[in-house]
Amino acid sequence: MIRETHVNAFTLALFVAIPLWAVMADEPFTITLMTRAAVFAIAAIGLNVALGLGGLVSLGHAVFFGLGGYAMGILAHHAQTYTALAEWPLLIEGTKSMPVIWLTAIAVSSLAALAIGILSLRTAGVYFIMITLAFGQMFFFFAISWSEYGGEDGLSIYVRNGFPGLNTLDPIQFYGLCLALLCLVLVFVWRLAKSPFGLALNAARQAPVRVETVGLDPARLRLVAFVLSGAIAGLAGALFADLNRFVSPVMFSWQTSGEIMIFVILGGVGRLFGPVVGALVFVALEHWLGELSEFWHIYLGLLLLLIVLFGRGGLIGMVSGREAVHD
Amino acid sequence: MSLILLIEQILNGLQFGIMLFLMAAGLTLIFGVMGLINLAHGSLYMIGAFCAAAVAGKTGSFLLGLIAALAGAAIAGALVELVVIRRLYRKDHLDQVLATFALILIFSEGTRWIFGSFPLFLDVPDYLSGPITLPGGIQYPLYRLALIVIGLAVGLGLYLLISKTRLGVQIRAGENDREMIAALGIDIAKLYTIVFALGAALAGFAGALVGAIQSVQVGMGEPVLIMAFVVIVIGGIGSIKGALIGALLVGLTDTLGGIFLPEVMKLFFDPSTATSIGSSLASMAIYVLMAAVLVLKPAGLFGARA
Amino acid sequence: MTEQSVPLTPARQTPVLETRGICKSFGALRASREISLDLRPGEIHAIIGPNGAGKSTLIAQICGTLKPDAGSVHLLGRDVTHQATRMRARAGLGRTFQISSLAMDDTVLQNAVLGALGASGRPWRFWKDALHDRTLTETAEEALLRVGLEDLARQRTAELSHGQRRQLEVAVALTLRPKALVMDEPMAGMGPEGSRLLTGFLDQLRQEAPILLVEHDMDAVFSLADRISVLVYGEVIATGSVEEIRANAAVREAYLGDEA
């Protein structure tokens, strides 16, 4: 058995070593795959805040991922067409600056998470799952019918957005940016889990009545967790859109929500590196199995079934032999 | 906007609602009795449609197609219950979501493997095709009217099954008190398989019926599944009556919203803007309805348990 | 809701916790019938009664998880009938549960720190390690020391014995520095040694915070209680000192009958 911290260190080492190798071997496609894994990992870490710490089984995180994507798409679209986003009550113009886009993505997805959270956290259990799924579908159909921004076809952005001091068109530089953000988010969530808020949220998942009898409000703790979770997923959405230079309603689809959840489960729920391992393994499977068979989702489905039925604690749990953190 | 158009659209809404009811009834029954959230219910809908299209295509008989849909979905349901689902009853909702999500992947890709990515077509039989003239001179497609009648008949049958038969007694006992059915000496494992197969058959039947007016393709089940979730959230989990009322509300809201919201918007905007805003709003109408119910009655209109 | 005053035994001091004529029905079942009780500074007031007498329902109404159909609950002289559980906790009502309600995957210390965190009223901190926050850990460790769990602070709660979980319940309640304690069968499932230790501990604790004690262990009740109320079919049939209760004919008939 390998210790979980060693698994984590090894994973991080892979995120550094593989792209470095790819640069030397001149394999830009591998860098793109690793960028994809890093971005998925951020989204999944976001979901893990709600799911692993808060115990909130949200099947609607595509909403925040998609909003982040559309924040990027809409801002960059207006910048590239030289049109204003809004002229009244104040003039808002598009932008090609990543930091501005990221902040917008985080702000928009947090607000959406706040609204959806207030409504859906009135319920629990199966209701919560169904409602988050339904809100995801609502955004999906809205994006499809919103013809101003491409409707069903989505929006293409011709040139990747810029970051001060970097050439984001160079795959390894853009990857470095995503990896840096991944590390930042990891540190933030690591601190979050140990913080007073994290302690209370953890307890609210396991024994909500107890949390209430010490004078805290479990509902409010969950809502804040849901908002933080949505904000992180929104950031990932903006990065994903920049990676593909394209956004479409697919980002809002229920499959996207399901995939983000798969990343978390593959790696291990409630573990800091669970989502990271899960995203990396998913991208690897998608690449290799996808080459072997057009129908690789069957194998993914079977793998997922096996993990759910027999392997509690995800891949990290199997390797490190520690029980699931979350019951 | 004429009265005739209004009546036509109300009928369309009813027809859509009734089909949603067949999905939602199975889902809510399975949740009520076994406490299971089944995302793969949409796959059973799809399986029903494919069975019907394949058999009707080979034999030329729509009726045989329907029978194949019922049988195919029920058998698929029973098999899935025996192999996978029964291992999930004791697990938490997260595991249920993931396992049934995995089933969607397997069913969808498996179907694509067998039938390919192109849609199949299931034709409305001659004796049900063409319009019928309703009182008041309204022309309405006979097949859609038949869907309403068949759906209501199935609903009635379900009601009789649950309120009048021995199986129904067991199902109700299972919904109220899981320990009691064991105490009554009922074979729970068998009961669960039957209930799951029943729910699957309802879904497959709906898939086949709807398959004749839409195309039969991979992925057709999930949008309907999510709509059925909205229905259940509105009606209240575990309540068949709630599923019926919720389904009709959702069906009517969705259909009428799509027609009337653009018209209403024309009062405020120029026609093309109105159409685009109106259709955007219409796509959100049922979710707004769901949100409103959540604010007023978090456990749904007829929900006993939250 | 009637504001009509219910006759109380003349209080020597203002009660810390008080219920005035609370009623609660579930359908045809009347689980609480006009229950009026009080808890005075420095005392242990035990509530006894056969199973199904409505003790849990009463506690739920005192702590705020159930709302009475009629009547009111007062904490430190303030009407808290319409306040949520957590507001009552903040006002100084500590509680232990019949069935341990603890974060089982967390350590003993983390559970105690949760109590301290609740008492501090500042959970909205997202960066600093809660277990490195001295004000929180000192409160938590002090409470663990008092119940004798200091050596198990790093243990996972799920690994504790039944009795140790009870002790932890008490410790978490203590971190709130409660003005009144409601304890639901703290002795249940404890060995004789554990019961003896806890009895001794509660004996001292009453000076710090009076205790409303629901307990089945009659030896503990009779050795600890200053007053006892007997609940039968949702009704208080007698309140009085240990001797008065022992001598009360109605009580002997309704409750102690088969033991006496």
Tens digits of residue pLDDT in A76-112: 999 999 998 888 788 888 999 999 999 999 999 999 9
A127 → chain B, closest CA residue: B233
Give A106-150 as a DSSP string.
HHHHHHHHHHHHHHHTTS-HHHHHHHHHHHHHHHHHHHHH-GGGT
Contact between residue A204 and residue A221 where contact means Cβ atoms under 8 Å apart: yes
Domain contains B22: yes
Band (pLDDT 50/70/90 cuts) for residue C10 is very low
User: In percent, how much of chain A has pLDDT > 70?
Assistant: 97
Q: Is residue B304 part of a domain?
A: no
**Token pair belonging to B289:** 């309805």
Contact B104 A305 (CB under 8 A): no
Q: What ipTM was assigned to the predicted interfaces of this complex?
A: 0.90
Query: Which domain CATH number covers B188?
Result: 1.10.3470
Split at pLDDT 50, 70, 90, the class of C4 is very low
What is the radius of gyration, based on Cα positions, of chain C? Answer: 19
pLDDT of residue A222 exceeding 70: yes
Contact A216 C118 (CB under 8 A): yes
In a domain, B301, yes or no: no
CA C3, CA A4: separation in Å to the nearest integer?
62
Is B45 touching A (CB cutoff 8 A)?
Answer: no
- DSSP helix/strand/coil, A188: helix
Q: Is residue B180 part of a domain?
A: yes
Q: Which residues from A are below 8 Å from B when comparing CB atoms?
A: 51, 57, 59, 119-120, 122-127, 129-131, 133-135, 137-138, 141-142, 144-148, 254, 258, 261-262, 265, 269, 295-298, 300-302, 304-305, 307-309
Domain boundaries, chain C: 14-92+179-260, 101-177
Average pLDDT score over residue span C74-91: 94
SS (H, E, C) chain B: CCHHHHHHHHHHHHHHHHHHHHHHHHHHHHHHHHCCCCCCHHHHHHHHHHHHHHHHHHHCCHHHHHHHHHHHHHHHHHHHHHHCHHHCCCCCHHHHHHHHHHHHHHHHHHHHHHHCCCCECCCCCHHHCCEEEECCCEEEEHHHHHHHHHHHHHHHHHHHHHHHCHHHHHHHHHHHCHHHHHHCCCCHHHHHHHHHHHHHHHHHHHHHHHHCCCCECCCCHHHHHHHHHHHHHHHCCCCHHHHHHHHHHHHHHHHHHHHHHHHHHCCCCCHHHHHHHHHHHHHHHHHHHHHHHHHHCCCCCCCCCC
Q: Give me the mean pLDDT over the A125-148 stretch.
A: 91
Residue at B254 is within a domain: yes
Q: Do the Cβ atoms of A272 and A320 come closer than 8 Å? A: no
Cβ-based contacts of A147 with chain B (< 8 Å): 276
Report the C-alpha gap between B304 and A322 in whole angstroms: 39
The residue among B36, B226, B250 with the most chain A CBs within 10 A of its CB, best to mutate, is: B226
Span between the terminal Cα atoms of chain A, in Å? 21
Q: In chain A, what percentage of residues exceed pLDDT 90?
A: 81
Give CA–CA dist C48/C31, Å, rounded: 15
Give the chains touching A; criterion: ≥3 Cβ pairs < 8 Å: B, C
Report the distance separating Cα C61 and Cα C246, nearest Å.
28
Residues of chain C in contact with residue A200, where contact means CB-CB under 8 angstroms, are 114, 117-118, 123
Residues of chain B with C-beta less than 8 angstroms from the C-beta of A59: 97
The per-residue pLDDT for range B50-93, each reduced to its tens digit, is: 999 999 999 999 999 999 999 999 999 999 999 999 999 988 89
Identify all chain B residues contacting A304, using CB atoms and an 8 Å cutoff: 98-99, 101-102, 105
Q: Do A254 and B226 touch (CB under 8 A)?
A: yes
CB-based burial of residue A44 (10 Å sphere; 0-12 exposed, 13-18 middle, 19+ buried)? buried
| Residue B103 maps to a domain | yes
- Across the interface, whether the CB atoms of C105 and A325 are under 8 A apart is answered yes
Answer CATH for C14-92+179-260 from 3.40.50.1970, 3.40.50.300, 3.40.630.30, 1.10.3720.10:
3.40.50.300
- Per-residue pLDDT band for B21 (boundaries 50, 70, 90) equals very high
d(CA A173, CA A160): 12
Tens-digit pLDDT profile for residues B143-185: 999 999 999 999 999 999 988 888 888 888 877 776 677 777 7
Domain ranges of chain A: 4-320
pLDDT per residue as tens digits for the range A275-287: 999 999 999 999 9
Model confidence pLDDT, tens digit, residues B114-126: 998 899 988 888 8
Using the structure block, give the residue that is written with the tokens 């299931």. B122
Subunit contact B99:A145, Cβ cutoff 8 A: no
Query: Among all residues of chain C, which has the CA nearest to that of A187?
Result: C127
CA A291 to chain centre: 25
Model confidence at A324, in pLDDT bands (50, 70, 90)?
very low
Q: Which two tokens stand for residue A238?
A: 């903006």
Asked if the structure places residue B306 within a domain, the reply is no
For chain C, what's the residue count? 260
Residue numbers in C near A206 (CB within 8 A): 102-106
Tokens 């729910």 belong to: B199
Answer whether C touches B (≥3 Cβ pairs < 8 Å): no
Q: Grade residue C6 by pLDDT with cuts at 50, 70 and 90.
A: very low
pLDDT at C2 over 80: no
pLDDT at B84: 94
The residue among B83, B90, B101, B297 with the most chain A CBs within 10 A of its CB, best to mutate, is B101
Burial C13-38 (b: 16+ CB within 10 A, else e): eebbbbbbbbbbeeeeebbbbbbbbb
Domain that holds residue B97: 3-296
Q: How many CB pairs under 8 A join A and B?
A: 126
Say which residue, B263 or C133, is predicted with more confidence: C133
User: With an 8 Å Cβ cutoff, are A261 and B101 in contact?
Assistant: yes
How would you class B272 by CB atoms within 10 Å of its CB: exposed for 0-12, middle for 13-18, buried for 19 or more? exposed
Query: Which residues are CB-neighbours of B270 under 8 A, at least 6 positions away?
Result: none
Residue B125: Cβ-neighbour burial (10 angstroms; 0-12, 13-18, 19+): middle
Do A304 and B116 form a contact (C-beta atoms < 8 A)?
no
Cα R_g (chain B), whole angstroms: 20
Give how far B227 is from chain A: nearest CA, Å: 7
The confidence score (pLDDT) of residue B26 equals 92
What distance in Å separates the CA atoms of residue A131 and residue A135, rounded to the nearest whole number? Answer: 6
Distance CA C211, CA A191 (A): 39
DSSP SS3 for A226: helix
* d(C-alpha B23, C-alpha B43), whole Å: 11
When the pLDDT of each residue in chain A is averaged and rounded to a whole number, the result is 93
Instruction: State the amino acid at position A286 in one-letter form.
Output: E
Distance from CA of C244 to the nearest CA of A (A): 34
For residues A79 and A158, is the Cβ–Cβ distance under 8 A? no
User: In whole angstroms, what separates CA B290 from the centre of its chain?
Assistant: 17
Task: Read off the DSSP letter of residue C257.
Answer: T
Give me the pLDDT at residue C12, please. 55
Report the DSSP pairing between strands C227-232 and C44-48: parallel
Looking at chain A from residue 207 to 226, which residues have their Cβ under 8 Å from any Cβ of chain C?
207, 209-217, 221, 224
Task: Indicate if the pLDDT at residue B202 is higher than 80.
Answer: yes
Given a cut of 90, whether residue C14 has pLDDT beyond it is: no
- The share of chain B scoring above pLDDT 90, in percent, equals 60
CB-closest option in A199, A212, A325 to C130 = A199
Sole residue written with tokens 């990992």: A41
Residue A53 confidence (pLDDT): 95
B105 contacts on A by Cβ (under 8 Å): 297-298, 300-301, 304
Residue type at A199 in one-letter notation: L
Q: pLDDT grade, residue A189 (50/70/90)?
A: very high
Does the pLDDT of residue A247 top 90, yes or no?
A: yes
Nearest Cα neighbor of C111 from C178, C64, C159, C60 is C159
- When comparing pLDDT for B2 and B39, which is higher? B39
**Residue A270 has what pLDDT?**
87
DSSP C213: E
Count of the separate structural domains present in chain B: 1
Query: What residues of C are in contact with residue A191 (Cβ under 8 Å)?
Result: 126-129
Q: Å from A278 to nearest chain B CA?
A: 14
